[in-house]
């Protein structure tokens, strides 16, 4: 499943819409790519509709009905057309109705965001979506600027809703008792708002598909409401392999249909996506986007990418097109072996709902939280040590799904639900293995597992020891104070004098029928900023001790990233070449991705397979099988291959 996304966030001072639309360029693009779906602009964050709406605020100077034209040319080709439509982010509405705007606790009226408790959904959003669904016959809508724009709201409408629900006249502020209850009330208001607009639009067009961008992702790692049919988001323009690896696993965890969107242009952002500058955008190359696509499609998701419309006004230009046909063909050739594939549980990384709650005024922006950074680092570390990894969410632990996994990694965070802690303890008691990836994670279980650790100290030079070598970094490390019954696996030294004795860095013990392992430093954060060979080698040795039962082993390159899935009843092994030139922020695009190999692959299988087929090349792969291990060699891996293990 492959799509393209073309939005331009119409503004009053931009080029008039359709002044130079060039419909033949859209036609040529669609005919070359043959996407399954296209997403086009209907309303951006400024609030101006890019079609002649009868409800909202039309963009000035409109020369023709671009939406009608795009519906015509997509319908003729059997291509689904979705609206890119901004939700609570609507600057026009808050200018016209300032009483509908979100108001902060100090009385500041937002110039961007609409209160979900206001009449906005009923008077503007829902009527426009019905207009798009019925009058224009679009197939669905991708609501942008929604959950990540949601803020703590003290508007008149929010206060009235709070009083109606709780009977309380006062809405708690910072430092007051009940603030988190009020923040959760605002989150519930957002859920109700999404449920409301989906239900209302589907009442007139039951087959109209709607999602809210980034709902039930790292921003909202909650159990999805049944009204939401699919999940979607657009990941970081830079460091996109890491971003796609992280967000793909969070979305895959829910078991719903999902896709992720790459940006077809790059911009200078931090490793974890903080800040999205719009200037100095450069086109990405086809190989670069195929590599990003591999991180998504290998997990069973659909893939789409943004085609930037330089010049505004709905213009699509040939020179800004790039070789998008190659990207579509890359995805399409792998679709029979990847799309809607299911994960094979191996290692799980916990993503706690409680720990994800952002503490600023934006209440559903978990993406930029400390937890996301830690978990991203753990996923990157696992990818670089060839350990297949999935995400598991708080509600899934409470539902008993942790038992499917052989190893759980708990990130280093301040908060953890009591129900989650209980589930982790039961998991270990029943034979599970858990890695507590930092002092705060360890401290959550100090009573249950019998371990004491000092609070985190100020940053200091820490030197990890492994195999007669040292990996030094400036960071935080705590000291274990009571290790009765624990074994020390690895040690660290402080500073560079090495006069002091080595301290335990990673310890483990048996607990009931399971195993607990703990680190005195934040493992995810450490690797995020210290991607060194020694840390990878140490961690790989740790995984060999803690989880020797892993079913996949790949030797030959740290960049060979394995993803084990199940498709049509048989195992598939995805191998991704994850060499990432964009780790250098000055590298905006690259066309050359060095091939890796030869790679030696070992895969546990209960029975000898009938054959191994490499896809999409449809090549039979020579293999051996002995004592439950399937072994074969991959001489060369360009970007991504799928190996079908046929029983």
What integer pLDDT is reported at residue 283 of this predicted model?
Answer: 79
- Identify the pLDDT of residue 83: 98
- What percentage of the chain exceeds 90 in pLDDT? 72
Higher pLDDT, 18 or 213: 213
Task: Enter the tokens of residue 618.
Answer: 């449809």
* 244, 295 Cβ separation under 8 angstroms: yes
For the chain, what is the mean pLDDT? 90
Query: Which residues, in sequence order, are bridge partners of residue 141?
Result: 83, 210
Query: Among candidates 406, 342, 392, 232, which has minimal Cα distance to 563?
Result: 342
pLDDT of residue 364: 78
Q: What is the pLDDT of residues 513-558, one digit of tens each?
A: 999 999 999 999 889 888 889 999 999 999 999 999 999 999 999 9
What is the DSSP pairing of strand 570-577 with strand 640-646? antiparallel
Q: What are the tokens at 412?
A: 């280093």
Q: Lowest mean pLDDT of 203-207, 304-308, 439-443, name the range.
A: 304-308
Q: Which CATH number fits domain 2-341: 3.30.565.10, 3.20.20.80, 3.30.420.10, 3.30.2010.20?
A: 3.20.20.80
Q: Is the pLDDT of residue 97 over 60?
A: yes
Going by C-alpha positions, the residue among 336, 330, 294, 376 that lies closest to residue 562 is 294
> How far apart, in whole angstroms, are the C-alpha atoms of residue 410 and residue 416?
10
- Write phi, then psi, for 31 (nearest 5 degrees): -70, -35
Residues 6-32 have a mean pLDDT of: 82
Question: Is the CA virtual torsion 415, 417, 420, 421 positive or negative?
Answer: positive
CATH number of 344-548: 3.40.50.880
List C-alpha distances in Å: 345 to 245, 314, 505, 564, 571.
16, 44, 28, 9, 12
Sheet strands side by side (includes 624-626): 552-555, 599-604, 629-634, 624-626
In whole angstroms, give the CA distance from residue 163 to residue 451. Answer: 45
Q: How many CA atoms lie within 13 A of 290 on its CB side?
A: 26
Say if residue 271's pLDDT is above 50: no
**Predicted local distance difference test score (pLDDT) of residue 279:** 54
pLDDT tens profile 577-587 = 999 876 666 67
Q: What is the pLDDT of residue 524?
A: 93
* 487-494 and 503-511 strand pairing: antiparallel
Cα 261 to Cα 305: distance, rounded to the nearest angstrom: 5
Q: How far is CA 210 from CA 75, 142, 231, 430, in A?
A: 19, 6, 9, 41
- Please report which confidence band the pLDDT of residue 486 belongs to, taking 50, 70 and 90 as the band edges: very high
CATH assignment of 553-646, given 2.60.40.1180, 2.40.480.10, 3.30.470.20, 3.40.50.300? Answer: 2.60.40.1180
Longest dimension (CA), the chain: 77
Domain extents for the chain? 2-341, 344-548, 553-646
pLDDT of residue 495: 66
Secondary structure string (H, E, C) spanning 292-361: HHHHHHCCCCEEEEECCCCCCCCCCCHHHCCCHHHHHHHHHHHHHHHCCCEECCCEEEEECHHHHCCCCC
Query: What does the pLDDT read at residue 120?
Result: 98
Structure tokens at 68: 């009608």
Residues 51-72: what's their mean pLDDT? Answer: 92
In 3D space, the residue among 248, 232, 242, 252 whose CA is nearest the CA of residue 306 turns out to be 232
Residue 223: strand, helix, or coil: coil
Higher pLDDT, residue 173 or 363: 173
Pairing status of strand 480-482 against strand 452-453: antiparallel
Q: Name the DSSP class of 445.
A: T
For 61, left (φ over 0), alpha (ψ -120 to 50), or beta? left
| pLDDT on residue 498 | 59
């Amino acid at each position: 499943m492959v799509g393209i996304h073309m939005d331009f966030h119409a503004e009053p001072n931009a080029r008039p819409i359709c002044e130079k639309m060039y419909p033949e360029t859209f036609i040529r693009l669609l005919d070359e790519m043959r996407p399954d779906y296209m997403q086009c602009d209907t309303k951006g964050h400024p609030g101006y509709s890019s079609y002649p709406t009868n409800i909202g605020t039309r963009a000035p100077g409109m020369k023709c009905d671009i939406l009608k034209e795009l519906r015509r040319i997509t319908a003729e080709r059997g291509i689904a057309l979705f609206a890119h439509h901004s939700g609570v982010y609507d600057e026009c509405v808050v200018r016209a109705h300032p009483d509908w705007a979100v108001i902060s606790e100090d009385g500041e009226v937002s110039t961007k965001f609409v209160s979900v408790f206001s009449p906005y959904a009923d008077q503007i959003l829902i009527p426009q979506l019905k207009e798009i669904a019925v009058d224009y016959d679009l197939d669905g809508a991708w609501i942008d600027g929604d959950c990540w724009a949601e803020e703590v709201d003290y508007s008149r409408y929010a206060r009235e809703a709070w009083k109606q629900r709780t009977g309380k006249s006062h809405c708690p502020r910072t430092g007051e008792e009940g603030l988190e209850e009020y923040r959760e009330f605002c989150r519930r208001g957002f859920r109700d708002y999404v449920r409301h607009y989906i239900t209302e639009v589907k009442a007139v067009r039951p087959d109209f598909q709607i999602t809210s961008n980034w709902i039930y992702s790292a921003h909202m790692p909650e159990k999805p409401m049944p009204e939401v049919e699919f999940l979607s988001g657009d990941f970081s323009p830079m460091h996109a392999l890491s971003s796609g690896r992280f967000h793909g696993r969070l979305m895959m965890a829910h078991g719903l249909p999902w896709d992720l969107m790459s940006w077809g242009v790059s911009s200078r952002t931090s490793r974890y996506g903080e800040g999205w500058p719009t200037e100095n955008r450069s086109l990405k190359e086809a190989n670069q986007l195929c590599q990003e696509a591999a991180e998504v499609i290998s997990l069973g998701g659909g893939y789409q990418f943004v085609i930037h419309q330089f010049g505004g006004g709905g213009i699509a230009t040939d020179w800004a097109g790039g070789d998008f046909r190659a990207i579509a063909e890359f995805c399409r050739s792998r679709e029979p072996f990847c799309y809607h594939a299911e994960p094979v549980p191996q290692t799980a990384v916990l993503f706690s709902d409680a720990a994800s709650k952002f503490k600023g005024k934006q209440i559903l922006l978990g993406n930029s939280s400390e937890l996301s950074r830690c978990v991203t680092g753990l996923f990157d570390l696992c990818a670089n040590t060839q350990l297949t990894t999935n995400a598991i969410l708080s509600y899934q632990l409470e539902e008993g799904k942790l038992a499917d996994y052989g190893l759980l990694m708990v990130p280093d965070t301040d908060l953890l639900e009591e129900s989650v802690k209980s589930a982790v303890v039961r998991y270990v008691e029943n034979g599970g293995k858990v890695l507590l990836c930092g002092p705060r994670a360890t401290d959550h279980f100090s009573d249950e597992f019998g371990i004491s650790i000092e609070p985190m100290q100020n940053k200091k030079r820490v030197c990890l020891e492994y195999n007669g070598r040292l990996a030094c970094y400036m960071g935080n490390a705590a000291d274990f104070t009571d290790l009765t019954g624990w074994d020390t696996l690895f040690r660290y030294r402080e500073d560079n004098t090495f006069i002091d004795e080595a301290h335990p860095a990673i310890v483990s013990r048996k607990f009931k029928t399971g195993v607990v392992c703990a680190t005195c430093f934040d493992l995810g954060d450490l690797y995020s900023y210290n991607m060194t060979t020694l840390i990878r080698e140490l961690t790989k040795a740790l995984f060999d001790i803690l989880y020797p039962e892993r079913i996949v082993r790949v030797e030959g390159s740290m960049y060979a990233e394995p993803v084990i899935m199940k498709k049509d009843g048989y195992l598939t092994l995805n191998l991704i070449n994850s060499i990432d030139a964009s780790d250098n922020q000055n590298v905006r695009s690259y066309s050359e991705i060095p091939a890796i190999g030869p790679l030696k692959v070992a895969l546990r299988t209960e029975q000898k397979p009938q054959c191994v087929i490499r896809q999409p090349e449809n090549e039979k792969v020579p293999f051996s099988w002995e004592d439950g291990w399937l072994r074969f060699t991959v001489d060369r891996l360009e970007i991504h291959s799928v190996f079908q293990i046929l029983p």
